[in-house]
Amino acid sequence: MEKKRPDKFIRKPRIAHWVLISILLLVFDALSVNLSFLAALWVRYDCQLSRIRLDYLQAWLHFTPIYTVFCLLVFWLGRMYQTIWRFASFHELERSLLVNVITGVFHIVGITVFFARMPISYYVMGLLLQVILLTGIRFAYRFALLLRSWKNKQNESLHRVMLIGAGEAGQLILRDLMKSNESRDKVCCIIDDNPNKWNRYVEGVPVVGGREDILLNCEKYKIDRIYLAIPSASAEARRDILDVCKETGCEMKTLPGIYQLVEGSLSVSAMKDVAIEDLLGREPIQADMTDVFNYLAGKTILVTGGGGSIGSELCRQIASHDPKQLIIFDIYENNAYEIQLELRDRYPKLNLVTLIGSVRDSRRLNQVFAEYRPDVVYHAAAHKHVPLMEDSPCEAIKNNVLGTYKTAYAAMTHGCRRFVLISTDKAVNPTNVMGASKRLCEMVIQTFDRKVRDGRPYDMPVLFTHGGKETDPEAIVRVPPEEARTEFVAVRFGNVLGSNGSVVPVFKRQIAKGGPVTVTHPDIIRYFMTVPEAVSLVLLAGTYAQGGEIFVLDMGSPVKIDTLARNLIRLSGFKPDVDIKIEYTGLRPGEKLYEEKLMAEEGLRRTPNDLIHIGSPIPFDHDVFLAQMEELMDAAYNNDEGIRSVVKGMVSTYHPAEELSPAQRVGEKSPASTERELVRA
């Protein structure tokens, strides 16, 4: 026999809260639709029930049941009892007015035809009172919630916001802030450079003046956060405004660009922290890329290190311009997987191949080149962290120098048309192994180019892993010299903002932890560029190439790292050396105060783009260099601690930091002299 469950375990049915609300609304509506017209009669006769004509009162009374049933039916069909009124908007208001009009017309026609002709004021005032009561009760709940939210905002500890920009973007941000329940920001004043808007109001917020009034009004309104909402402003205008704002000590946010305004997706969530590139004071390089992408279209492109900062941006831009095939080659599978997912999502028709492998593996490289036969190679795979490479110099040589040699050799022997090396300004007069290794990479490229031009590609020795275990030289299929006309070039640029290992993300993490922010030296300077600029340069090099060039971007004036750190602290709403301490840790091994863009003896030539220059190759004995390469390979694979001496013998401008006096490390030549050389050229 089945046991009955105890009563305490039986869940008793409960009426849903919204059902109770709907029942209460239904009762209220039934009373309101009738009392509205009775009240109209009462007002018509001077608010005295005794003066109302009996036939009018009887007509109203007899029509009441019919009208009540009709109204409730129309209201139900109009979803007046199924709506969540706390979220009511214009759509619900429109629906509410529509059902009131329908029932009002029915009342006028029904009572007039079947019972009695009523006074005009009865029809008009009755319908008006009905609309007020039925719509008011529903929107009163939403209004009460908004009022309570507004009062809570006033009572809470808010961010007091200054909004810069009274244009369309600023108005959208302001409205989004005002209607948001989650935001604790209160816009206290607006700044705009248009004098016609001064001393006027936007959504009840005063426009208090132009950019020269920012400091005064930050103090007056006790501002602690500034929103810059001028997405169409030039880089120079943004820098000028931000230079003023950073003196306020307020936290700052800005809009990334005008495209969000065009797409209609503008909101407070679109605001981002002010990026340090906003303060560099120059417009991003806007190169005409038409020739670049015409050249790339229909070609098979290989990007080594395709998952890195530069490599992944190369892949993005190449993928958007119809290559025949794009091959991502990287040893780090996580990076390669991320860019693979992104590109497949954005470009479903792209012929994309993602391969895992090392540029140090000749066998793997030859397998890839033999199978896919790339037309263009962008060689971005490299170790680039200066202090880490100082501790592991042999790894820097294996990956950077030998990896470049093996990739270039595979490109030459398999008929690749162009090979573009990603280099760095640290290759100029290097004081560290990483910079010296990149200079050796440039020399490798120049040597390959010379041998190909001279019709002597056979002179290039096959470098394989020490001991002959990696690659059998006889297994490499060599092509005739006339078919091995690969054009080899190098691209040299400075520090890339936002790239892996760059200084800005490090500073941001340190600020987020409350400091201290560590700077190696108060006078250290660097040239900076953005990732898109760097990639534009690399792509342009691929089209301008004639062989053997080193391409250089005019990156403007160098920037003090100490200034970058202080600006980031200010833009985060803190005061340098007060809220966030700055500590100077001293120059790291192999680090110098400034980076040069070109060696003085290289000189510069112009290209069709005024911001792109070409450095003339420094002459050196290529045959001697190739013999030294074999010695360098042996030292690297033997993990020889004296490898720096081998590198020094190959790179005449390399002076290891430990061999320099403090004065020499600081630099005998000022950055200004480097700039003058650039201008003279």
Digit-coded pLDDT (tens) for 69-111: 888 888 888 777 777 666 666 677 778 788 888 888 888 888 8
Question: Tens of pLDDT along 347-357?
Answer: 999 999 999 99
286 touches 262 (CB < 8 A) = no
Residue type, 649: G
How do beta strands 272-273 and 201-202 pair? unpaired
Q: What are phi and psi of 251, to 5 degrees?
A: -70, 145
Higher pLDDT, 624 or 458: 624
Say how far apart CA 149 and CA 396 lie, in whole Å: 59
Fold of 295-501+519-560+589-680: Rossmann fold (3.40.50)
More confident: 437 or 15? 437
Higher pLDDT, 170 or 517: 517
What are the contacts of 109-118 at 24+ separation with CB within 8 A? 110/63, 110/66, 110/67, 110/70, 111/59, 111/60, 111/63, 111/67, 114/63, 115/58, 115/59, 115/62, 115/63, 116/55, 116/56, 116/58, 116/59, 118/41, 118/56, 118/59, 118/60
Structure confidence at residue 173 (pLDDT): 80
Distance (Å, whole) CA 387 – CA 136: 70
State pLDDT tens for residues 258-304: 333 334 444 444 455 555 555 555 566 666 677 787 888 899 999 99
pLDDT higher at 313 or 78: 313
User: How would residue 153 be classed by pLDDT, with cut points 50, 70 and 90?
Assistant: low
Residue 180 has pLDDT above 90, yes or no: no
Q: What is the pLDDT of residue 279?
A: 56
Indicate the residue type of 611. Answer: L
Give the model's pLDDT for residue 93: 75
Res. 479: pLDDT tops 60: no
Coil, strand, or helix at residue 384?
Answer: coil
Give how far the C-alpha of residue 644 lies from the chain's centroid of Cα atoms, to the nearest Å.
40
Full 3-state SS string of 148-164: HHHHHHHHCCCEEEEEE
Average pLDDT of the segment spanning 360-383: 93
Task: Average the pLDDT over 554-565 and give the result.
Answer: 77
Please, how many CA atoms are within 13 Å of residue 243, restricted to the half-sphere of its CB?
A: 11
Per-residue confidence (pLDDT) for residue 112, from 0 to 100: 85
**Per-residue pLDDT at 13:** 54
pTM: 0.63
Residue 255 has a pLDDT of: 64
Tell me how crowded residue 485 is: count the other CB atoms within 10 A of its CB.
15
> Which backbone phi and psi does 471 adopt, to 5 degrees?
-135, 135
The pLDDT of residue 287: 66
**Cα–Cα distance for residue pair 197/192, rounded to 1 Å:** 7
- Domain 157-274 and domain 295-501+519-560+589-680 have a common topology: yes
Stretch 529-548: mean pLDDT, rounded? 78
Name which residue leads in pLDDT, 454 or 681: 454
- HSE (side-chain half, CA atoms, 13 Å) at 549: 24
Q: Count the Cβ atoms, other than its own, within 10 Å of residue 599.
A: 16
Residue 91 CB partners (closer than 8 Å, separation 6+) = none
Asked if residue 516 has a cis previous peptide bond (ω within 30° of 0), the answer is yes
Weakest-pLDDT range from 193-207, 250-264, 294-308, 606-620: 250-264
Asked whether residue 660 carries a pLDDT value surpassing 80, the answer given is no
Question: Contact at 8 Å (CB) between 140 and 88?
Answer: no
Q: How far apart are CA 489 and CA 550, in angstroms?
A: 6
Mean pLDDT score of the chain? 79
Task: Tell me the one-letter amino acid at 666.
Answer: V
* Sequence spans of domains, the chain: 17-152, 157-274, 295-501+519-560+589-680
> Which DSSP symbol is given to 399?
I
Six-digit token string for 154: 């006033």
Q: Per the structure block, which two tokens stand in for 226?
A: 């500034």
Cα distances (angstroms) measured from residue 291 to each of 294, 302, 541: 5, 19, 11
The two tokens of residue 669 are: 């030549």
Class (C level, CATH) for 157-274: alpha beta
Least confident of 12-26, 78-92, 424-438, 664-678: 664-678
Amino acid at 179: K
Give the burial class of 37: count Cβ atoms within 10 A of its Cβ; 0-12 exposed, 13-18 middle, 19 or more buried. Answer: buried
User: CA–CA separation, 232 vs 604, rounded Å?
Assistant: 35
Q: Which residues contact 231 (CB under 8 A, 6 or more apart)?
A: 169, 255, 256, 257, 258, 260, 261
Residue 3, pLDDT > 60, answer no
What is the rounded distance in angstroms from the CA atom of residue 289 to the CA atom of residue 297?
A: 12
The DSSP letter of residue 62 is H
For residue 484, what pLDDT band results from cuts at 50, 70 and 90?
low
